[in-house]
Structure 1
Amino acid sequence: MTLTGDLDGAARRRRPRRVVLLVALTATLSLLCCAGGTAAFFLDGLSNDDQALSTYGCGAGGPLPANGDMPSLSGYSAAQLRNASTIINVGAELKVPPKGWVIAVATAMQESSLTNHGYLGARNDHDSLGLFQQRPSQGWGSPKQVQDPAYASRKFYEKLVKVRGWERMSLTDAAQRVQRSAFPDAYAKHEPDAAQIVNLLADGAARAAGANAALACAAMGEVAASGWTAPVKAGLVSGFRTASRPDHQGVDLGAARGDDILAAAAGTVIVSRCDNDPFPPFRCDRDGSPSTPGCGWYVDIKHADEVITRYCHMLYRPKVQVGQTVAAGQPIGIVGTSGHSSGPHLHFEVHLNGDRGSSGATNPMAWMREKGAPLGTGT
């Protein structure tokens, strides 16, 4: 499989013949990355989308009333969205931060598909009832109470906020601490849809970080309720698939040598290596150059819903290993300039549908803004 390449035509023409041959031989292995240092990045220009940094709501407008008209969302009925709205409104009343709303909605999606189930006969899991499939025999309340969406939501939040450090946990860990499910990993897959529902019903609150009293989009070092955070605090210096670099499958962020690189969301490391190890003298234990092929030291992380993020040009061997589970905001490496690069920066990519190649790449600027963790906001 050919992975992402982002050299422009002029850079390809400048490369020595030996490098061209090496890259041709390793097309299915190497990641061709970022030519030029910071000064050169600015000459590449930014795409229109990169420059038009839209303002998104981050929950300040508050949630829609649960007894009002529901907006439409493909795949969900008005009754399901009304139940989700009840969950969100109860969380707001209890002053639970929006991350809790996303956790609660995702939990109800897994337990009941946002449907307020009564007794299901042989299909019932013991005496489980309601949106969260709470069991009266386990102290959640009477059968009538747990089938009241507002009561069930309140009981969920009461247990959630008693979990020490829940705000910093992954969604699936926090939900499992409340629910004690036989399928503890099942909640994670609902996080993207739960965040979308919270955004729809609560003025973009899944993009927010912090307490209800002062909702704002996540700043560097904060994880948005959606579960995403910016990987570095640095300005944007080269955009996604610009006119001058149409094969640039990510964005370059002008972080300084030695800065921490953070995991943009919780997930599992699927790649952690030097892109050029098999082909000396292009190694990653030295600074790269415009004639050095590949991404240098780099990491790929797989997240919920088959989303993959990529982090290139690390200074040293990454801090994480293949198969390791990482949390959003966890340091995974150090900014450097290994591989095809002439200056320290982070090359950051987002891929959809589990496709690590160019056809799966999407604009990281738009993606991260939608998640409430915009890129290029630091200097």
Structure 2
Amino acid sequence: MSIPRPRKIVLLVALVATLVLLCCGGSVTALLVGGLTDEGSDKLTASGGCGKAGPIDPDTKLPRIRPYGAEQIRNAAVIINVGADLKMPPRAWVIAVATAMQESRLNNLGNLGARNDHDSLGLFQQRPSSGWGTPQQVQDPVYSSTKFYKKLKTIPGWEKMPLTRAAQRVQISAYPDAYAKHEPIATQIVNTLADGAANAVGSSVAMVCASAGQIAASGWTLPTGAVVGSGFRTASRPNHQGVDLIAGKQTPIMAAASGIVSMVKCDEDRRGRRTCNVDGYPGKGGCGWMVEIQHAGNVMTRYCHMVTRPFVREGQEVAAGELIGRVGSSGNSSGPHLHFEVHLNNDRSSAGAIDPVQFMREQGSPLGGPG
């Protein structure tokens, strides 16, 4: 089978135990990305660019990315190559890989008899009876990937949609919310195979690293453009479960990724009061006006100290970059800033909190350097 070979993707083959990167502030930070194996032994790798180099060669020995095997990763490489050849931006590659993960676990499925969903076949479980092509065609990974991208391209505004909604508009699945859980690993696959392409601006074919106000192909963006003041669990503040992004009052706060708003409230202070419409002070306690959003992969983000009641409501679906509130100084605060937290496993307690600086760097949307 002939494999398309785009000009702007590179296979990342260097697996290393640690990778040190110079962040924007000039400090050296160890960046560790799990999930890769080489003949079953754990390795660590990281992408060093934004998809700026040459082609993936699916016929070489590709890195393993748990829980997928060599043939599955080869199929992911074909999906990415086809997207690049069709001049689809890297956000489309993430969507396509995640969709194939849900539909076939990146296996090119043939006729499985009663185990097939009707006459669904191939990487994307496309149905010949629904006009996707002949059985032979939809079992060709290049053909099926091409059909997926061409249908995606016809959907107005797909670039800004949550991944699960864009995928559903193409697939018309009986399980429309099933695609979201694959977004984090799909992002890792694209970054690993395509030299950090998920760090690039998601809607552009230029392969330029995403910056403030831009949404990366990973689906993440900065909650606000600001430098980092107080960091995560520092020696002076070991119980600080997030980072403080220093910005003036009324600075817009954006959803860092698409998701569902799980909490909107005026947080109580240490005296049990809900007094969020006034500036707080150190020692007052509480987050002031706050929002929590649940994202794909059981990730939760928290936004504190807003100046007024947030602009969103519980249960609302928000897109990456959508305005959710404005910077203020309510609650336990010494001045205007956004307190931003990232939690894993949808665990809103301190046990679920991780360093937002490292997490956002890995999503291609690095927070500002130390203030």
Which of 261, 268, 284 in structure 1 is aligned with 2:260? 268
Consecutive unaligned residues in structure 2, runs of 5 or more: 1-24, 32-46
Which of 356, 359, 365 in structure 1 is aligned with 2:351? 359
Paired residue secondary structure (1:309): strand
1:56 CA displacement: 3.7
Tell me how far apart the structure 2 counterparts of residues 135 and 225 of structure 1 sit (CA, whole Å). Answer: 28
Paired residue secondary structure (1:185): coil
Q: Which residue of 2 aligns with 1:232?
A: 224
Contact 2:88 2:205 in 1 (8 A): no
Tell me how far apart the structure 1 counterparts of residues 355 and 55 of structure 2 sit (CA, whole Å). Answer: 29
Q: How does 1:225-304 map to 2 (within 5 A)?
A: 225-276=217-268, 279=271, 283-304=275-296
1:62 CA displacement: 4.4
Deviates more, 1:64-73 or 1:337-346: 64-73
Q: Which residue type is aligned with residue 28 of structure 2?
A: A
Q: Report the TM-score when normalising by structure 1.
A: 0.84
**Judging changes above 3 Å, is the alpha-carbon distance between structure 1 residues 348 and 116 closer, same or farther for their aligned structure 2 residues?**
same
Q: Which residue of 1 aligns with 2:330?
A: 338
Q: Which residue of 2 aligns with 1:45?
A: none
**Judging changes above 3 Å, is the alpha-carbon distance between structure 1 residues 171 and 282 closer, same or farther for their aligned structure 2 residues?**
closer
**Judging changes above 3 Å, is the alpha-carbon distance between structure 1 residues 50 and 289 closer, same or farther for their aligned structure 2 residues?**
farther
Which of 25, 28, 37 in structure 2 is aligned with 1:52? 28
**2:155 aligned with 1:179, yes or no?**
no
Paired residue secondary structure (2:229): strand
- Aligned residue pairs total 332
Tell me how far apart the structure 2 counterparts of residues 223 and 306 of structure 1 sit (CA, whole Å). Answer: 20
Select the structure that is richer in strand. Answer: 2
Contact 1:66 1:85 in 2 (8 A): yes
Tell me how far apart the structure 2 counterparts of residues 278 and 341 of structure 1 sit (CA, whole Å). Answer: 13
Q: Which residue type is aligned with residue 137 of structure 2?
A: Q
1:136 CA displacement: 1.0
Tell me how far apart the structure 1 counterparts of residues 189 and 338 of structure 2 sit (CA, whole Å). Answer: 32
Provide the identity percentage: 62
Contact 1:234 1:378 in 2 (8 A): no
1:214 CA displacement: 2.3
Select the structure that is richer in helix. Answer: 1
Q: How does 1:306-321 map to 2 (within 5 A)?
A: 306-321=298-313
Tell me how far apart the structure 2 counterparts of residues 128 and 321 of structure 1 sit (CA, whole Å). Answer: 39
- Greater relative contact order (Cα < 8 A, sep 6+): 1
**Judging changes above 3 Å, is the alpha-carbon distance between structure 1 residues 122 and 87 closer, same or farther for their aligned structure 2 residues?**
same
Q: Report the TM-score when normalising by structure 2.
A: 0.85
Paired residue secondary structure (2:262): strand
Tell me how far apart the structure 2 counterparts of residues 254 and 243 of structure 1 sit (CA, whole Å). Answer: 20
Consecutive unaligned residues in structure 1, runs of 5 or more: 1-48
Q: Which residue type is aligned with residue 78 of structure 1?
A: A
Deviation per CA, 1:294-323: give whole Å up to 9, x if none.
110011111111111000000001111111
Q: Which residue of 1 aligns with 2:16?
A: none
Which of 1 and 2 has greater Rg? 1
Tell me how far apart the structure 1 counterparts of residues 370 and 53 of structure 2 sit (CA, whole Å). Answer: 26
Q: Which residue type is aligned with residue 167 of structure 2?
A: A
Q: Which residue of 2 aligns with 1:209?
A: 201
